[in-house]
Structure 1
């Protein structure tokens, strides 16, 4: 859930983080794309790394929209959130990694926030927020986009919105997020990592190591193998368990 916070609370929180805790930060990650794509498990597994602190659904673009915060403040908010919210429970799934570093990384090299769908909606509706992110973080700014079967994404929208069938509004939401994510990738091609969820399920260690390489990190292979025991070996094919309206227009999207 997106963090709602007042200016007074922001001031109190950042006062608890020492400036020296940010000295090693070289990357700031924003997840973009669609909700229910697999961002949660990737965010949780990155947060398990001893040099990474990823907050769970703060929605950094929304914080910029509401408060127009600077780099130091955003980084301190994210770090504080990770230190105080380490369980990683999302939509009924638990992503807590045993014997790892979730909530324990006090001097990170990589900071970031996992709120893929929500961050994308804020950027779509307020394009200046993307400009501001780049202005704040410059070359530190990185994007991660987890991609799954589009129809499973769309079906998940319907399910979590409490609808019994897939209709045009669910398809339109997907296509809008896709358009915005594609624009971000075109603008920042060297700072954008796309992960196919199906590839991750099939070979989690290989795909996880690719993400670490993108972020300029290394990890002990034994630790990585232990962390990735969390990964389920079967994808949720929600598109096969819900009714699809026959009058849906996919607008000639090659993705669908």
Structure 2
């Protein structure tokens, strides 16, 4: 098992980068790769843990053999509850424990390298700017995003429809912003910031950036970084109706 325990970030920026990568891997397991994750969490197996790795990948494996372990351990036995509750509730529960593990790993590194009060506060502030894994998995982040957009639009007398991306699934937000005439660029930058600044990727949970390719699922209407769902602008041009991996793999379970 390689949980990235040999990697030792030493600065606030290093630890935050490590936090983001591990978080991205766990979000991927609970959203994009949910079918594979579900299958690996066999209740017939021993105590299993979900690990987020520094390379933005995830791993379901047994806990470390050494005591104490090199890094704090994730929640043990996540597989035992898989068939004893609704899948959505089970995924949300795993997400909550994953959030707790990410914080413990980050502050483990901070304590190990002697962070003072100011460094700990700055590290937590940087992590707290991102939605939690639970918020991404449960859809709470999307709900909060919409509520913020409604308040913002009400104060600026804009329609609710302007608070979210309005392009069809096979068009990117970045491409949309670049299609405007040059004399409108200044006003467009402000408008894009208002309309799309709170948009979150359904895979990694990161915010919208105008220089990145995005695509919207025509089923669940969530937006994704093209790189997160392995869709390029060229490929998107030939997609009539896009389904994200989660919607494509969705099936009825007993």
Q: How does the TM-score come out when normalised to structure 1?
A: 0.28
| Bigger relative contact order, structure 1 or 2 (CA pairs below 8 A, ≥6 apart) | 1
Query: Which has the larger Rg?
Result: 2
Greater strand proportion: 1
Q: How does the TM-score come out when normalised to structure 2?
A: 0.28
